[in-house]
Homo-oligomer: A and B are copies of this chain.
Amino acid sequence: MFTYHRTIRVQDTDATGVLYFANQLQIGMEAFEEFLASQGFSLNEMIEKKKFLLPVVHAEADFAAPLYLGDQLEVTLSFSHIGNRSFTHTSDILKGGKKVGTVTIIHAVLCPKTKRATPIPLELSKIFTCA
């Protein structure tokens, strides 16, 4: 399990006074990005060297409580499924130790040239076991 800390900022909120719903899904992706960086994996290099692509094929979120400007969140990411050509990470979002939401994202793994599904590369699968 990997932990990411995040503060709700002005641009995350909307006129109803709370976190704009799609930004909660963004926070789930940020946790994944931060996890990869913590393991020394560079998404920028992956894109520039056209190693492989990790498009999102499904995403979902549950919202259990409103989140306000300035709220300090603890986001715990884990890999709930690691398949052959896709994987799933789930982030629990906690505020003051209480779960206020979840985000689940399924990524496919594609070959940039053929745009076809390809097995999860070793450099990723070996670090997925770290969360």
Q: A interface vs B, CB < 8 Å? A: 7, 9-11, 13-18, 20-23, 25-26, 29-30, 33-34, 37, 42-44, 47, 53, 55-64, 66, 68-70, 105
Q: Are A33 and B58 in contact (CB under 8 A)?
A: no
Residue in chain B with minimal CB distance to A61: B59
A65 nearest CB neighbor, chain B only:
B55
Interface of chain A, helix or strand or loop or mixed?
A: mixed
Which residues of B have CB within 8 Å of A20? 10-11
Determine whether the beta carbon of A14 is less than 8 Å from that of B16.
Answer: no
Closest to A13 in B: B15
Which chain B residues border A14 with CB–CB below 8 Å?
10-11, 13-15
CB pair A10 B43 closer than 8 Å: yes
A46 to B61, CA, bound (A): 25
- Closest-by-CB residue of B relative to A21 is B56
Bound-complex Cα distance A118 to B33 (A):
35
In the bound complex, how far is the Cα of B70 from the Cα of A69, in angstroms?
Answer: 22
Chain B residues closer than 8 Å to A25, beta-carbon distance: 21-22, 25, 59
- When the two chains form their complex, are residues B68 and A63 in contact, meaning their CB atoms are under 8 A apart? no
